[in-house]
Structure 1
């Protein structure tokens, strides 16, 4: 019998797979081997892209729009925000960085099992990667973005280390739009995750600030996210970032065994 254990971690967002269509079931890449210590993902996506870094600590919307335009069809741009020793930019669509993103989210959302834990983790990590590839392939560059936080200091081999990640997607759920005055779409924040060694070091805060900057660039008035009702750490983080709770899951939906009640939080962006 396999027994599930909850992670004793600060999980900020639980709506990780919420933006998958109902008909989509993520599957491991065709070259993934669950019995190999590392899954093989060899496809190169836009390998020739280079980072465009912005020297401004708090770039204006006009500067960011120019950076987006410079990225052409790739939808790539430089730093959205930086602070507390971290900076946030859009993920580069190349295999090494996408595997890093999948690993960060997998470490945050995976629940370990007693038997064959390493195998199941690799399988879960492959599904996270497959979901990322699906969103990149099926979303216009101005309707989905994966943002990554990295250190502002150089690491081994002159590389910068990714420490956190967040997904931002344009949504138009009618049940949510009822709380958003004058909006027909909004940015949904999900999959926010931080490596264990870097939690409680303002990484999540800078990721949320980057989401707000991206909303200004794309011209959206509202940011929306969900959290567990009993996750007081996450809710405090969101409240400090300017989010307010507007509703919760119906009580009957949270009466199922193992299902925790979620709350809906929104933030109106400053578009001035």
Structure 2
């Protein structure tokens, strides 16, 4: 069930708030101002033009952002995301495709909930880029190293956020902050082609650039493929979620993995 409502702020700009109930779990998402989803409450979906003044960039700025690379090999290059509507939507589509629970599609006959989830990913990215300092958060994107720039398409993404959670800092000797890695996603047809490895290596370079010693991420305990990827990238398991206190609601346990980055070379 989906219920959406709009409201006007003091500047008479539309702001959307949607409440979605899926399998008795309710999620409330607030989308950026002026985001328009036609006939949302009827369960249909149309395109959503988003004239964001904060994401408009000149060609010179775009070229400058494209040169902001953190990893480069024969196959892939990794750089910061360009803060343009087009590229941000590309990032949202990759993450939505990777994280959307496919069982929802078996319940609902159209792709409304998938599209809703994609817009939510866009909303989250938009908020972080707008409100977080550039040395506290970045979204890194991977693309083919040899493709023509005009025909370039993203193949993977990863989020890096500086955090100071005391529950995690207890595992990081003498550290006062760390980079939390999340949102890693690779397009299906490019998986098992070292895209994720390139993204993780770029996070190492980012940590050196920001002067932060530790990288932290979480993985599902039973996702052995992801855990092997992170182990090969130098991450070590330091803790795991406590067993669920109830047997009626099974939950996938997560493990905490940490990597210490050497700052001797850049």
Could you tell me the TM-score, scaled by structure 2's length?
0.79
Contact 1:226 / 1:264 at 8 angstroms: preserved in 2?
A: yes
Instruction: Tell me the CA shift for residue 82 of structure 1.
Output: 1.1
Contact 2:244 / 2:251 at 8 angstroms: preserved in 1?
A: no
Using the alignment, how far apart are the partners of 2:247 and 2:136 within structure 1?
34
With a CA cutoff of 8 Å and minimum separation of 6, indicate the structure with the bigger relative contact order.
1
Instruction: Tell me the CA shift for residue 136 of structure 1.
Output: 1.2
RMSD: 2.2
Contact 2:138 / 2:160 at 8 angstroms: preserved in 1?
A: yes
Q: Deviations over 1:25-62 (max 9, x none)?
A: 5334431335344333332513212223xxxxxxxxxx
Q: Judging changes above 3 Å, is the alpha-carbon distance between structure 1 residues 252 and 95 closer, same or farther for their aligned structure 2 residues? A: same
Instruction: Tell me the CA shift for residue 153 of structure 1.
Output: 2.6
Counterpart residue number, 1:46: 56
Say whether 1:175 aligns with 2:167.
yes
Counterpart residue number, 2:29: 26
Larger radius of gyration: 2
Counterpart residue number, 1:60: none
User: Mind listing any 5+ residue stretches in structure 2 that lack a counterpart?
Assistant: 2-26
Q: Give the 3-state SS of the residue equivalent to 2:30 in structure 1.
A: coil
Contact 2:71 / 2:78 at 8 angstroms: preserved in 1?
A: yes
Contact 1:216 / 1:271 at 8 angstroms: preserved in 2?
A: yes
Q: Judging changes above 3 Å, is the alpha-carbon distance between structure 1 residues 257 and 224 closer, same or farther for their aligned structure 2 residues? A: same
Say whether 1:222 aligns with 2:222.
no
Using the alignment, how far apart are the partners of 1:140 and 1:243 within structure 2?
26
User: Mind listing any 5+ residue stretches in structure 1 that lack a counterpart?
Assistant: 2-23, 53-70
Matches within 5 A, 1:48-67: 48=58, 49-52=61-64
Contact 2:88 / 2:122 at 8 angstroms: preserved in 1?
A: yes
Counterpart residue number, 1:17: none
Contact 1:28 / 1:123 at 8 angstroms: preserved in 2?
A: no
Counterpart residue number, 1:248: 240
Using the alignment, how far apart are the partners of 2:132 and 2:69 within structure 1?
21
Give the count of matched residue pairs.
227
Contact 1:32 / 1:41 at 8 angstroms: preserved in 2?
A: no
Instruction: Tell me the CA shift for residue 111 of structure 1.
Output: 1.2
Counterpart residue number, 1:104: 94
Residue of structure 1 aligned with 2:190, choices 180, 183, 198: 198
Using the alignment, how far apart are the partners of 2:184 and 2:63 within structure 1?
22
Counterpart residue number, 2:121: 128
